C-alpha cells in the first residue's frame, strides 16, 4: 500500500505519565492510513447544505443510517 501526499496518516502512540514524566510505549503504536478519494465537490457541498437545513433529529437519523455497518457505528454504540 503506497501512501500518497494527499492521504491522511494517523499514528496512535500510547503513553504513561509517572512522576511528571511521559513514558511512550512504541511497541503498542497503531498506524492508520486513510486514502483520499476523488469526489464531486459541488455535489458534496449541495448535499451537506441540504442536510444542514434539516431539523436536528433528521440529521442524526441520516448520519446513523449512513454509518450503519461501519467501525464508527460500533464505537458510538459502545459510547452511547
Examine residue 35 and state whether it is found in any structural domain, yes or no. Answer: yes
The answer to whether residue 17 sits within a structural domain is: yes
Q: Is 13 inside any structural domain?
A: yes
Domain-embedded: residue 12: yes
Domain count of the fold of the chain: 1
Nearest to 49 by CA among 41, 37, 57: 41
Residue 80: pLDDT above 80? no
Relative to beta strand 8-12, strand 21-24 is: unpaired
Q: How far apart are CA 10 and CA 74, in angstroms?
A: 20
Write down the H helix ranges in the chain.
Answer: 41-52, 56-66, 71-79
What whole-number distance in Å separates Cα of residue 25 and Cα of residue 23?
Answer: 7
Chain segment 36-74, per-residue pLDDT in tens = 888 788 888 888 888 888 888 888 888 788 777 766 655
Residue 2 domain-assigned (yes or no): no
Amino acid at each position: 500500500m503506497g501512501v500518497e501526499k494527499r492521504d491522511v496518516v494517523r499514528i496512535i502512540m500510547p503513553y504513561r505519565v509517572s512522576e511528571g514524566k511521559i513514558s511512550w510505549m512504541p511497541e503498542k503504536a497503531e498506524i492508520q492510513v486513510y486514502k483520499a478519494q476523488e469526489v464531486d465537490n459541488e455535489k458534496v457541498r449541495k448535499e451537506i447544505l441540504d442536510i444542514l437545513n434539516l431539523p436536528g433529529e433528521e440529521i442524526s437519523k441520516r448520519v446513523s443510517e449512513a454509518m450503519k455497518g461501519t467501525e464508527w457505528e460500533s464505537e458510538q454504540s459502545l459510547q452511547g
